Structure 1
Amino acid sequence: MTSNSPSSRPKTAWWRRPWIVPLMLVVAAFLAFSVPPYLTFDPARSRLAPPEGDELYYPLLVAHVLCGAVAMATACFQVWPAFRARHRTGHRITGRIYVYAGALPAGLLGLYIGWHTSAGPSVLVANLVGSALWVVVTIMGLRMALRRRYDEHRRWMSRSFALAMSIALSRVINVPATILLTPRVDTAFGGSEELMRNTATSIGVWLSPLLLLLLADWVLERRKPAVRRPAAPLGMTTATVQTGRT
């Protein structure tokens, strides 16, 4: 007699999950490109121009970038099924690091950084909404874990992971958006290249979290266990089971 318990099911080797290694490579490449300029603590190397007279902006930006890097790195281990199943203590440790040193401080700092963006009102609202959502879904995931409601914990933390990765996808979307909008600088944007770039950035910061949240929920729905109907007792037909008559 076979058992359907999780421990009796055959475990899938990590190398048979084709998304794990590409995910880690993408995260490593993104962090290698994005983080080093901020490790110098030199405002001149910042990719985001600080507002005039705001001496608080750059230190908070550096903290936001570093906490975001922690979140992206630890999130890879949180969604790695083999690591989660075989190293539960490691999963809990990296989970706490993700929440307390990554997602929550990065999201809260993102509210300040997003409010002071120079890329226009659409990007400002997108940054505020994205940061607030990241904080909320992460807190919900943490609450579900503390209550030992692990299925719901996994769903909320999957959404948190999607929002953590949206920054990388937004940079990717920004490239084709810029290419498509550049020929319309003189018409749609009145000759303003800055307005065109801000619009391309806006497309990325709105579209990337939406796409990843939809993808996360689609994957979660696919992985729901099938609901099995109880088998009819011997000597009873389907009709009698449904009507309750023998």
Structure 2
Amino acid sequence: MTQNLERAGTPAPAPPPSSPPPPAGPPDRRGVRVWMILLVLSTVAVFAYVLPPYLGLDPAKATVPLPPEFPTKYAMLVGHILFGSIAMVTMCLQVWPWLRREHPAIHRRSGRLYVFAGVLPSVVLSFYLLVTSFGGPGWVGRASLAALWFITTLVGYVRARQRRYQEHRRFMIYSFALTMEALSGRLLANGLMLAMGMTPGEIPTEQAAAMMTAAEASAWLGWVVNLMIAAWWLDGRGSRRKPGAKTKAGTGTVRGPAATAPSS
């Protein structure tokens, strides 16, 4: 009985320590390839839709109104499309993980092209185009898009120059989301018109109000939804950050295995 009491008072042996979690496996390269292929195909689709009417430099084929009181609008429109096309091509290079990892110098040079030969001149010309269509359908949404596109891209570039790479990547991902409005905005506009029984490009006068509603909605949803997806993706990436990564308070720079240095 004494032995039983001694056994009863003996604490249970501690369970063996749990084994450490398995190390993170290599990135899903197949998923990255699929993502890059879809991005390139989307960019080609935008070019196929936007560029043909302007290849011959014929103002009569322009897809937007050209009021006679703004004789330089066509030239500004062609420049906006040209610089926007450069932004989309260099954007594909910027988000390519293999290029960023294996050839950082090319990543930096294409990043400068993205900023100074793509986004910024395209945005500046878009402000002129907005002036020529002041008060039209979707004007406020497009003006907000242009302002945010300019700000996120410029701040992302400045953060790279400051070597605050985590903030640089965050703002450049937002810039990427706004660049992709060239695709999502057109898909939404045409989709809304088809849902309302209209054929894009052939809008009867009695359906002008419905067309303006579709234009207003797509001018906002085309980039707001993109930003929401980008924010969701960034938050998800942050929650899966490796435990060894530490962020300096107030700087946004990272020390540890999660640190990266993709500067534009």
Normalised-by-shorter TM-score class: 0.7 to 0.9
2:102 alignment counterpart: 86
Higher relative contact order at CA 8 Å, sep ≥6: structure 1 or structure 2?
Answer: 2
The answer to which structure has the higher helix fraction is 1
Q: Structure 2 residue aligned with 1:74, among 90, 94, 99?
A: 90
**Identity among equivalent pairs (%):** 35
Q: Residues 115, 14 of structure 1: CA spacing in aligned structure 2 closer, same or farther, 3 A cutoff?
A: farther
Equivalent positions of 1:162-201 (< 5 A) are 162-182=177-197, 192-201=206-215
2:139 alignment counterpart: 124
In structure 2, stretches of 5+ residues that fail to align are 1-23, 199-204, 245-264
1:139 alignment counterpart: 154
Equivalent positions of 1:205-224 (< 5 A) are 205-224=219-238
SS of residue paired to 1:223: helix
Question: How many Å separate the matches in 2 of 1:169 and 1:160?
Answer: 14
Q: TM-score, normalised on structure 2?
A: 0.75
SS of residue paired to 1:97: helix
2:71 alignment counterpart: 55
4+ aligned runs moved over 6 Å, structure 1 = none
User: Alpha-carbon deviation of 1:13?
Assistant: 3.0
Q: Is the 8 A contact 1:174 1:204 kept in 2?
A: yes
What is the Cα-based RMSD across aligned positions, in Å? 2.5
In the alignment, does 2:138 pair up with 1:111?
no
Q: Structure 2 residue aligned with 1:21, among 31, 37, 40?
A: 37
Question: How many Å separate the matches in 2 of 1:50 and 1:82?
Answer: 43
Q: TM-score, normalised on structure 1?
A: 0.80
Give CA-to-partner distance per residue, 1:161-188, whole Å, 9 cap, x none: 11111121111111221133348xxxxx
Q: Is the 8 A contact 1:74 1:94 kept in 2?
A: yes
SS of residue paired to 2:67: coil
